[in-house]
Amino acid sequence: MQSKDGLNLGDYSFEFSVKSNDDLDPIAIYTHEMDLSKVPPKGSPPNLPAERASSGTKEMEEIGKIRKTHGYGGSGDKTHLGGFTTVDSDGISPYVWRDMMEYFGVKKLLDVGCGRGISTSWFYMQGVQVQCVEGSHDAIERSLLPTLVEEDADTDKDGKGAITKDNIIVEHDFSLGPWWPEETVDAVWCVELLEHVSRNFAPNYLTAFKKSALIFATHSIWVSLCSHINASCTQT
């Protein structure tokens, strides 16, 4: 998209009219003219779980060996979902998490690509209102969160319904379409997901990012699992 004077503003999906103003740079023009009534999107679409992989195929045998070698979970998941570790020590950042709460005032958080919910669990135990979204069915089956929320399942602390696994954990494959939470959040926590989702599907998770005031995101410098099998890389 370009402004009237030809400045490249990138591929923004928001609906707004850009007006030329010599006193403003392109990003300032974009933010000045953006219709905030349409950002972030309202409501929440249905989640789209990934299809389970066919067992016994050559592709799954190969990715199974790779996952076993690197200690990744993901049994029964398709290759493009990447896998997850039982405990990712590089993604455990309590000093950052504490600053998010104390300095940035984070009280509501969305964990995008939460794996087994280790980061989400930490925030939950600190009293943060959390929700997480994950594509791996195996990761969700092995999540830490159900045990933590079990004691709260019959309570309705804030009048918005009881806390359960079903309203905290969302199974969704971003290669199938967009998903975003119904309510806005203070922060998105997204660690080592971005390298697993190809750029053509990036708008599907960026829509979820629009629901947040702050975004804390990292990506791995390691080669994604899907790159080990050429056929799978065409899927994502």
Per-residue pLDDT in tens (0 to 9) along the chain, 236 residues? 444 444 343 443 433 344 444 555 555 555 555 554 556 677 788 899 988 877 777 767 777 776 776 667 667 677 777 677 666 767 788 999 999 999 999 999 999 999 888 999 999 999 999 999 998 888 888 888 988 887 665 555 554 445 566 789 999 999 888 899 999 999 999 988 888 788 888 888 998 999 999 999 988 765 544 444 333 343 33
Q: What per-residue confidence (pLDDT) applies to 35?
A: 54
Q: Give Cα 124 distance to the centre of its chain.
A: 17
Q: What per-residue confidence (pLDDT) applies to 105?
A: 97
Contact 39, 210 (CB under 8 A): yes
Q: Say yes or no: 7 and 110 in one domain.
A: no
Q: What per-residue confidence (pLDDT) applies to 219?
A: 81
Q: What per-residue confidence (pLDDT) applies to 4?
A: 44
By the 10 Å C-beta count (0-12 exposed, 13-18 middle, 19+ buried), 61 is classed as exposed
Q: Say yes or no: 2 and 79 in one domain.
A: no
Q: Say yes or no: 102 and 210 in one domain.
A: yes
Q: Say yes or no: 29 and 117 in one domain.
A: no
Is the residue at 46 inside a domain?
A: no
Q: Say yes or no: 16 and 74 in one domain.
A: no
CB contact burial 8-27 (16+ within 10 A = b; e otherwise)? eeeeeeeebebeeeeeeebe
Number of independent structural domains in the chain: 2
Q: Say yes or no: 34 and 63 in one domain.
A: no
Q: What per-residue confidence (pLDDT) applies to 54?
A: 73
| Domain range for 1 | 1-39
3-state secondary structure of 215: strand
Q: What per-residue confidence (pLDDT) applies to 108?
A: 97
Q: Say yes or no: 32 and 69 in one domain.
A: no
Rounded to whole angstroms, the Cα distance separating 139 from 70 reads 16
- The dihedral formed by the CA atoms of 188, 193, 198 and 204, expressed in degrees to the nearest 10: -30
Q: Say yes or no: 3 and 106 in one domain.
A: no
